[in-house]
């Protein structure tokens, strides 16, 4: 298996490489530009200088005496020779006035050789050589002679010039090294900033996977994607924590719900076995009822599991909600009659695409609650309508209602209001959970509005 490289290393290396390439290109370009510009400058400078020298010579002629100031020309010529310019001065009749080579041939050759060697060593590609320029010497517009100035063309540089260029390149090199060091440091800092939350997220997810659901990511991250990542992890931890609480509560609730009827049955049977109690049909009926409650609870749980399992299969068909409500109402005829309750179904025929049996289960659960929690002589109203947001089935009663604080909880598993607990209404608090799960499996919703003492209204929207 290939060895995995750390993200921080890859990031720092990547950034460093990028900066390195950029600096290399910039340095190279700067170096070439500076050299080129400097050479151009030297070339122009040399041309100007040779012209200046010629001009200086023209002032050393005394027209009245028809004489050249030879002393000065000599000093001037030697000075120029030291700079790399070899002078020859002629008068208007082409007679030589002064010639550097004539004057000191050895020195001239030495100067020329030095320049040639230096340039060939430092600029071998230049292929330069000595050229001679001729300048007319004039005084008050009149030609008095001419000068020949020889110098190394296209340009030549002395030790100082080369030294100057070298220093410039060294400065560039130092800047480059400093920038690379800076880039590596910045890269490492940036990489750390990016990888730190990722590493922390990794640790957090490991903790969560080990069952520590209370862990949360608390840090101020300024990178959007990383913040989204940590937020998703926090959401996941939240969801898992909720699931865990629910799972624990479910186990406790099931145990609690089973304990009461089981204790009842076992004490009843114990008393009868020990002969303390006569096994009267009434007592046996009691035991039977309790066992019925247990069976009911188990089948409720089974149904809930089925419905809450992720791929609840719905056998969909066109269902008329109005006739469905009427059918369910008819099923409750006996209970309704017992409590002298009226049940009216109103509205219109509304067709939905759904699982008829399961939708019937919803209405049964809602209606059985309405019957349970409405006092003798009360009224139950079922209204079926096509609304803008979908098909609606509303079951309204004028029963005991639900306390405000219980409203958000009644759809939870095993949740019952205090009243319903003390009244032993028989339900285990699963009916509404099942109804809501079925509504949601159909892509719909089940909501409640209620006022204590006045009644409740459950709305199924599909």
Given the complex with ligand ADP, which of 221 and 366 has the nearer CB atom? 366
To ligand ADP, the closest distance from the beta carbon of 243 in angstroms equals 20
Report yes or no: 150 and 109 within 8 Å, Cβ to Cβ: no
Rounded CA-CA distance 111/105 in Å is: 10
> Which is closer to ligand ADP, CB of 174 or CB of 409?
409
List the structure tokens of 266.
């076992």
Q: How far is the CB of 257 from ligand ADP (least distance, A)?
A: 11
Provide DSSP, 419-444: HHHHTT-S--S-HHHHHHHHHHHTT-
CB nearer to ligand ADP: pick between 15 and 407: 407
Residue nearest to ligand ADP (CB): 427
How many angstroms separate the CA atoms of 329 and 361, rounded? 12
The strand pairing partners of 131, in sequence order, are 151
Kindly report the length of the chain.
462
Judged by CB, which is closer to ligand ADP: 54, or 304? 304
- Helix ranges (H only) for 59-158 are 70-83, 100-103, 105-122
Nearest distance from C-beta of residue 254 to ligand ADP, angstroms: 14
In whole angstroms, give the CA distance from residue 425 to residue 427.
Answer: 6
What ranges in 84-223 are assigned the alpha helix state H? 100-103, 105-122, 159-209
Contacts 24+ apart (CB under 8 A), 105-111: 107/81, 108/81, 111/81, 111/82, 111/84, 111/86
Q: By the criterion CB under 6 A, which residues form the site for ligand ADP? A: 365, 369-370, 373, 397, 399-402, 410, 415-417, 420, 425, 427-433, 456
* Token output for 2: 């290939």
Distances (CA, A) of 243 to 239, 249, 276: 6, 10, 47
Q: Which is nearer to ligand ADP, 111 or 410 (CB)?
A: 410
Give the residue with the Cβ less far from ligand ADP, 8 or 365: 365
- Tokens at residue 91, please? 């008068």
52 or 449: whose CB is closer to ligand ADP?
449
Whichever of 112 and 430 has its CB closer to ligand ADP, that residue is 430
Shortest CB 332 distance to ligand ADP, Å: 13
Rounded to a whole number of angstroms, the minimum distance from the CB of residue 384 to ligand ADP is 18
Q: Confirm if 126 and 178 have CB atoms less than 8 A apart.
A: no
Both tokens of 443, joined, read 């892509």
Element housing 342 (H / E): strand 342-347
- Tell the smallest beta-carbon distance from residue 304 to ligand ADP (Å): 10
Cα–Cα dist 12/215, whole Å: 30
Please report, for residues 75, 239, 357, 386, 457, the alpha-carbon distance to residue 390 in angstroms, rounded to integers and kept in the order given: 112, 30, 20, 6, 17
Smallest separation (angstroms) from ligand ADP to the CB of 260: 14
How far apart are the C-alpha atoms of 338 and 104, rounded to whole Å?
144
Which residue's CB is nearer to ligand ADP, number 230 or number 420? 420
Nearer to ligand ADP, 394 or 432 (CB): 432
Work out how close the CB of 273 gets to ligand ADP at its nearest, in angstroms, rounded to a whole number.
Answer: 32
Write down the least CB distance from residue 441 to ligand ADP, Å: 17
């Amino acid at each position: 298996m290939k060895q995995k490289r750390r993200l921080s290393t890859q990031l720092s290396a990547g950034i460093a490489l990028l900066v390195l390439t950029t600096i290399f290109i910039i340095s190279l370009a700067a170096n070439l530009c500076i050299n080129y510009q400097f050479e151009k400058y030297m070339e122009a400078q040399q041309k100007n200088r040779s012209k200046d020298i010629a001009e200086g010579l023209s002032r050393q002629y005394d027209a009245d005496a028809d004489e050249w100031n030879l002393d000065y020309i000599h000093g001037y010529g030697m000075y120029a020779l030291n700079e790399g310019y070899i002078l020859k001065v002629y008068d208007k009749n082409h007679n030589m006035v002064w010639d550097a080579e004539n004057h000191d041939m050895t020195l001239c050759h030495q100067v020329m050789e030095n320049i040639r060697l230096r340039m060939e060593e430092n600029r071998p590609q230049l292929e330069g050589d000595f050229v001679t320029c001729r300048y007319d010497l004039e005084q008050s517009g009149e030609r008095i002679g001419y000068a020949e100035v020889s110098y190394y063309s296209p340009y030549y540089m002395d030790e100082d010039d080369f030294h100057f260029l070298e220093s410039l390149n060294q400065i560039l090199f130092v800047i480059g090294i400093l920038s690379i060091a800076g880039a590596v440091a910045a890269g490492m800092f940036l990489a750390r900033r990016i990888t730190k939350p990722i590493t922390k997220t990794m640790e957090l997810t490991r903790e969560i996977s080990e069952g520590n659901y209370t862990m949360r990511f608390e840090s101020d991250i300024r990178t959007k994607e990383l913040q989204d990542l940590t937020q998703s992890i926090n959401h996941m931890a939240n969801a898992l924590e909720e699931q865990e609480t629910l799972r624990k509560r479910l186990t406790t609730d099931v145990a609690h719900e089973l304990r009461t009827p089981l204790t009842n049955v076992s004490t009843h049977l114990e008393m009868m076995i020990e002969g303390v109690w006569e096994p009267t049909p009434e007592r046996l009926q009691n035991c039977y009822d309790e066992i019925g409650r247990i069976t009911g609870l188990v089948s409720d749980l089974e149904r809930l599991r089925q419905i809450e399992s992720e791929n609840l299969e719905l056998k969909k068909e066109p269902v008329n909600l109005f006739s469905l409500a009427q059918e369910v109402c008819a099923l409750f005829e006996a209970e309704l009659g017992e409590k002298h309750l009226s049940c009216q179904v109103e509205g219109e025929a509304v067709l939905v695409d759904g699982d008829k049996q399961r939708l019937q289960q919803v209405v049964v659960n809602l209606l059985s609650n309405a019957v349970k929690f409405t006092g003798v002589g009360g009224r139950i109203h079922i209204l079926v309508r096509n609304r803008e947001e979908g098909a609606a089935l509303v079951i309204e009663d004028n029963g005991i209602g639900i306390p405000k604080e219980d409203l958000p909880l009644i759809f939870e598993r095993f949740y019952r209001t205090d009243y319903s607990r003390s009244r032993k209404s028989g339900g285990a608090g699963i009916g509404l959970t099942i109804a809501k799960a079925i509504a949601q499996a159909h892509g719909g919703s089940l909501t409640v509005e209620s006022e204590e003492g006045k009644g409740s209204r459950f709305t199924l929207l599909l």
